[in-house]
Structure 1
Amino acid sequence: MVSTASPPARTALRPTAPAAGDERLTGRLGEPEDHRLYRRMRFIRRFEETLLALFEEGVLNGTTHACIGQEADAVAVMEHLGDVDHVFSNHRCHGHYLARTGDALGLLAEIMGKEAGVCRGKGGSQHICAPGFKSNGVQGGIVPAAAGIAMAGQLDGSGMVSVVFIGDGTLGEGAVYETMNMASLWRLPLLVVCEDNRWAQSTPVEANLAGGMAARFEAFDVPVREIDSTDVLELSEAARAELDAVRAGGGPRVLLIHTYRLCHHSKSDDERPAEEIAAHWLVEPLVVHGRRLADADRRAIDDEVELALAEVVATARNLP
């Protein structure tokens, strides 16, 4: 069912593995939760916008897939992961990586093809290999790998959870269902986070997906929590509950988030109705959560994020 409930009461949620990096981007020690969550989403938003600007400037080559509008999903899930847990992502991976690691310089240098990049400049925008984090641009291809790591964790008794982010377009890939079959049979500690941004590139989901999304997982006896929200607090509570259930030995679970991608699929390919996009800008994550902050506090965080990212860009430009 799609969630229609009011946002949950705010509790003292704290990540067990705080993102590393500049605290102006990831959050200051003792900072109020509302401020920290806003800061982390603002960090991802401005990183992606900066990246697109660098492409326009001609500094970057190839392509990239920004997650503008989906920042709350990444932050909400990473709030509840520990050092032992593993995250897998896809071609739209920047928000997931930044929320997990806080490593703005390593990611930007990687996309620039620099030696100091997280993969020495060889992975680019889509293919990241870092401790506790892997991403790959092959649709569905990362899901079996996520299940394999979940199985390894189950066998060695580490108590880890494997989390894999997929999109609605990936639901057309057979590898997903082969994996869900085995994950369910073996009760693997796997959480699938399906970000339904309502469009597969420039095709509306109703034009390329038959049946229900949740039903596809439920066919393998995998529980699904379905939520339609851009509120980071509501999403955080849902992610916490699902991860707790996986850690308790309940087997694989799915967090199905109906979200929206405010930017184009890649750098310039967007055939969606302009009025539809405009309507979603009114309820995007930073607007929804930003209302909980005083104007002065929000502006102060914005300024700090802007300064920190400007320093990251200047450093990255000068790297060999």
Structure 2
Amino acid sequence: MFVQLLDERGSRLPSPEFDPHVADLTPDALLGFYRDMLVVRRIDTEATALQRQGELALWPPLLGQEAAQIGSGRMLRADDFVFSSYREHAVAYTRGVALQDLVRVWRGTSQSGWDPFAVNMSTPQVIIGAQTLHAVGYAMGIRNDGADATAVTYFGDGALSEGDVSEAMVFAASFGAPVVFFCQNNHWAISEPVRVQSTVALADRAGGFGIPSLRVDGNDVLAVAAATRVALDRARAGGGPTFIEAVTYRMGPHTTADDPTRYRDADELAAWAERDPISRLALHLRAEGVLDEAAEARIAGETDAAAAELRAGCLALDDPAPLALFDHVYAEPHPGIDRQRAEYARYLDGFAD
């Protein structure tokens, strides 16, 4: 089954199975999703510009994947915990991460972006697929505590070629962990197309681990919301893990260090641009009469304000003190770290003259 509730023209497609899961999402609520997607796209564009101007060392754009992240992120409860890769800026936005904190690690002024326990979202994981193991471990803890929260882990199609993800799914299935595996199939693992990685739909691979799966149009924010709620409800009710494949497309480069024109056909990019998640929702909202010129102008002002806040926050970040490198390595005092800090301090003192 391929879950789709809004087609490319923004027309609402009825679904007796999934409609009940989004029955409370009014046109005004969807207008909020539209605003969210525009804000995060504007933030993403601004961060890319900051990298091109030498203000960030690197940035992994999410252009084209806004619906997959907003549609899922807005369905989570405050006590759910997110374990993400390095591209889930929109999910971080839905969790309340400050815009300045989105760029700390990419500017090189911090080893981490934010306090995970303040927003119930771990900081970005660059090691491909490692966060899936962290999510399952956390979910097993939830189950042992008798709580009904969930863990949600985000990763790309390329991560399914990593052993960590397979190991995570084995543990999740074996222990009935309340975890949602959210795979954003954006069709490209850097320069490798998804067809090289799997001969079947990625969602079908979950069945081999005994995990039920859903395959959803990742550019349809309403369908993503419905699928995410199905998975969250199952986890909260003790039904264990669910695998979601959100079929979307990475419109930009893998990171700002990548040149996708070297491996990607321009016609493919153009075809996916016609399925743009923001344009699709806009068509639906205009037909519903809730997106008019006044709303567009208001949202445009909010997106510009967010971009200005991100830029100002980025430029205001101070370089850390050299000895800060040794802070927060261990939760408790550690003699080995103390010795290294002292040695490095003596080294730095050697340049005092």
Q: Which amino acid aligns with 2:301?
A: D
Residue in 2 aligned with 1:130? 116
Cα gap change, 1:194 to 1:300, in 2 (>3 Å):
same
Residue in 2 aligned with 1:28? none
Kindly indicate whether residue 208 of structure 2 is the aligned counterpart of residue 205 of structure 1: no
> SS at 1:101's partner residue?
coil
Kindly indicate whether residue 301 of structure 2 is the aligned counterpart of residue 289 of structure 1: no
Residue in 2 aligned with 1:54? 50
Q: Which amino acid aligns with 1:41?
A: M
Instruction: Kindly name which structure, 1 or 2, has the bigger radius of gyration based on alpha carbons.
Output: 2
* Alpha-carbon distance in 2 for matches of 1:157, 1:4: 34
Moved more, 44-53 or 227-236: 227-236
Percent of aligned pairs with the same amino acid: 31
Contact 1:13–1:79 at 8 Å: present in 2 too? no
> SS at 2:152's partner residue?
strand
Residue in 2 aligned with 1:11? 23
Residue in 2 aligned with 1:22? none
How much does 1:99 deviate?
Answer: 2.2
- Pick from 58, 66, 77: which aligns with 2:61? 66
Residue in 1 aligned with 2:161? 172
Moved more, 67-76 or 306-315: 306-315
Contact 1:7–1:234 at 8 Å: present in 2 too? no
Residue in 1 aligned with 2:259? 269
How much does 1:201 deviate?
Answer: 1.0
Cα gap change, 1:286 to 1:175, in 2 (>3 Å):
same
How much does 1:241 deviate?
Answer: 1.6
* Greater percentage in helix: 2
* Alpha-carbon distance in 2 for matches of 1:90, 1:211: 23
Kindly indicate whether residue 38 of structure 2 is the aligned counterpart of residue 42 of structure 1: yes
Q: Which amino acid aligns with 2:96?
A: T
- Pick from 242, 250, 255: which aligns with 1:253? 242
* TM-score, normalising length: structure 1: 0.85
* TM-score, normalising length: structure 2: 0.78
Contact 1:84–1:158 at 8 Å: present in 2 too? no
* Alpha-carbon distance in 1 for matches of 2:317, 2:259: 31
Residue in 2 aligned with 1:307? 305
How much does 1:102 deviate?
Answer: 4.4
Unaligned runs of 5+ in 1: 15-30, 115-120
Contact 1:7–1:233 at 8 Å: present in 2 too? no
Contact 2:3–2:223 at 8 Å: present in 1 too? no
How much does 1:32 deviate?
Answer: 2.4
Contact 2:185–2:249 at 8 Å: present in 1 too? yes
Q: Which amino acid aligns with 1:77?
A: S
Unaligned runs of 5+ in 2: 6-12, 286-290, 319-353
* Alpha-carbon distance in 1 for matches of 2:66, 2:29: 16
Kindly indicate whether residue 71 of structure 2 is the aligned counterpart of residue 76 of structure 1: yes
